Structure 1
């Protein structure tokens, strides 16, 4: 088994093994066999809004421009991960989308001490893969999380993992993997989420872009719904998952978008034990002035988008239920 570091003390961050600055990032399946593709990161930190943004920047590096792909088996990933002592996982972020989670993860990525992995497709590919059995997925996911939390820079002491919105349906399984890690769940008034998706819909808000098995929806039923009403149905599923899980999990904290991003960050600072300085909060306030998904653009409040003839009864009831669970009123 190859050694990934010169010293068994992983905190040295000194690399001698060729895969030290390589990261597994993509699942490949051929003839029923699952492989993992790797990419060279060089000195790049995960500071972009999404994991894939950082991967795109790294593709132009010489190591990634040879015309060859670096591939390993899934078993290799599990085996090599045994040599890694990752930094502490401070928390997981789950969300319903368009509720401030991207900005929150961007702010948390500002300190050099914190690794923030935001919606890595590899995790989703493993969770939804049909060729891997459940017993095969568990060690592979745990190994990938180790690589994500690998200490590549001396300052790094914590890692935060932001999941895709539909991973709310996997939250119980992920809790089994990490029984002691704090889980934060971000949500928002459902009509505001629908308005945001009406301007630019996420893939999970468009029927058939994701397997309907994820949402436990019948195809015949879906065809009867407008796009907006389908979005409401998806939110109902998300909100129900939040209500069910947070009602029984004592290490989960729920955050409403209406609290304000800065207030959410200050609460997460305590909940995730991040200990930000006031100087760091000043930097975060500057980042808040820009767009969450496009740091080059300025922040603009959502415009009112007219939406008619939607049945919001169930989703609004769930929204109220979650507000009660979070011990916060809707204001």
Structure 2
């Protein structure tokens, strides 16, 4: 293990081959991860001549070996979400801060969370993976924030076992607006059979896309309600953004006034397409919703959404950012 050196390398893929779990690594050097999603940063890094000439693959055990040799930052916060609800905006605002490492929806973490590894081995691999992401590649990093995939709310108890003291939040919005977004351009968890087994399944037949999306959205919001109540997650509604970054989210992420101002510079841009300006679209999405979709959402997703709203109303959190 003494010769193990992954300085500047990050895990980009974890998969099972011939019964053995493997890790694929990519060299990033000291390049910060400013892209909206980790996979986009990977695509850019793989275009480097070095990464085209050299590939690095290891057994899964290399994650824990590297953590022992060079422990990285422990996660300072987790961001979970209902999808299409502002979580990418939050992660992009944090990515503006030089002392933050922000990893947004890394596929290797999803692979481990939903793997068939024995419990102890899976926990060790997860902590090793996040230690690798928490390496101080530029020397100034102080905090590591991980944004998970929307369906990862089902695996939250497992992640909480690994990091019981790490604060987390759940971002959501009016379920009708989320449903319209997925009808326009469905996420992989809103396409039948694409994601594989997860907490969103109810194993019942469905009638059309509206029915399928509304039911899965309802189950996602209900899982979030249960976990926020049981594990102390901070509930954040889309309609609080971006202003909440100067209030209770500033306290949650421990940002001072200068950092808040810097983070807010990202709010004028479209979070997923930074080259475009942000335009509020909630009203247009509600107008676009068909009567069928409205009925399905009311039946399947409105109750857990309202329960999250009640939970948010009961949540107390400091509203002033910490002093510099």
TM > 0.5 between the two? Answer: yes
CA distance in 2, matches of 1:286, 1:75: 40
CA distance in 1, matches of 2:74, 2:113: 23
The 5 A counterparts of 1:1-331 are 1-2=1-2, 17=5, 19-66=6-53, 68-130=54-116, 132-218=117-203, 221-222=204-205, 224-250=206-232, 252-264=233-245, 266-277=247-258, 280-302=259-281, 303-304=284-285, 305-309=288-292, 310-311=295-296, 312-327=298-313
Deviation of the 1:306 alpha carbon: 2.9
CA distance in 2, matches of 1:212, 1:92: 23
State whether residues 3 and 83 of structure 1, in contact with CA within 8 Å, keep that contact through their aligned partners in structure 2.
no
Deviation of the 1:240 alpha carbon: 1.0
State whether residues 244 and 250 of structure 2, in contact with CA within 8 Å, keep that contact through their aligned partners in structure 1.
no
CA distance in 2, matches of 1:159, 1:324: 30
Q: 1:67-92 CA distances to partner (integer Å, 9 max, x unpaired)?
A: x5311000122112112232242210
Large movers: runs of 4+ above 4 Å: none
The alpha-carbon distance between structure 1 residues 88 and 213, as it changes in their structure 2 partners (threshold 3 A), is closer
Q: 1:21-74 CA distances to partner (integer Å, 9 max, x unpaired)?
A: 0111101322111111000002211111000111111012232011x5311000
The alpha-carbon distance between structure 1 residues 247 and 281, as it changes in their structure 2 partners (threshold 3 A), is closer
CA distance in 1, matches of 2:314, 2:214: 23
State whether residues 28 and 34 of structure 1, in contact with CA within 8 Å, keep that contact through their aligned partners in structure 2.
yes
State whether residues 76 and 167 of structure 2, in contact with CA within 8 Å, keep that contact through their aligned partners in structure 1.
yes
Task: State the SS of the aligned residue for 1:29.
Answer: strand
Q: Give the number of the structure whose residues are more often helix, by fraction.
A: 2
Deviation of the 1:265 alpha carbon: 5.5
Task: State the SS of the aligned residue for 2:231.
Answer: coil
Q: Tell me the matched-pair count.
A: 308
**TM-score with structure 1 setting the length:** 0.88
Q: 1:197-234 CA distances to partner (integer Å, 9 max, x unpaired)?
A: 1221111111111114442321xx24x32112211111
Deviation of the 1:291 alpha carbon: 0.9
Task: State the SS of the aligned residue for 1:240.
Answer: helix
State whether residues 255 and 264 of structure 1, in contact with CA within 8 Å, keep that contact through their aligned partners in structure 2.
no
Question: Which residue of structure 1 aligns with residue 320 of structure 2?
Answer: none
CA distance in 2, matches of 1:257, 1:306: 19
Deviation of the 1:236 alpha carbon: 1.1
CA distance in 2, matches of 1:254, 1:126: 25
Q: 1:234-275 CA distances to partner (integer Å, 9 max, x unpaired)?
A: 11111111111122223x210011122222463222012233
**Structure 1: any 5+ residue segments left out of the alignment?**
5-16
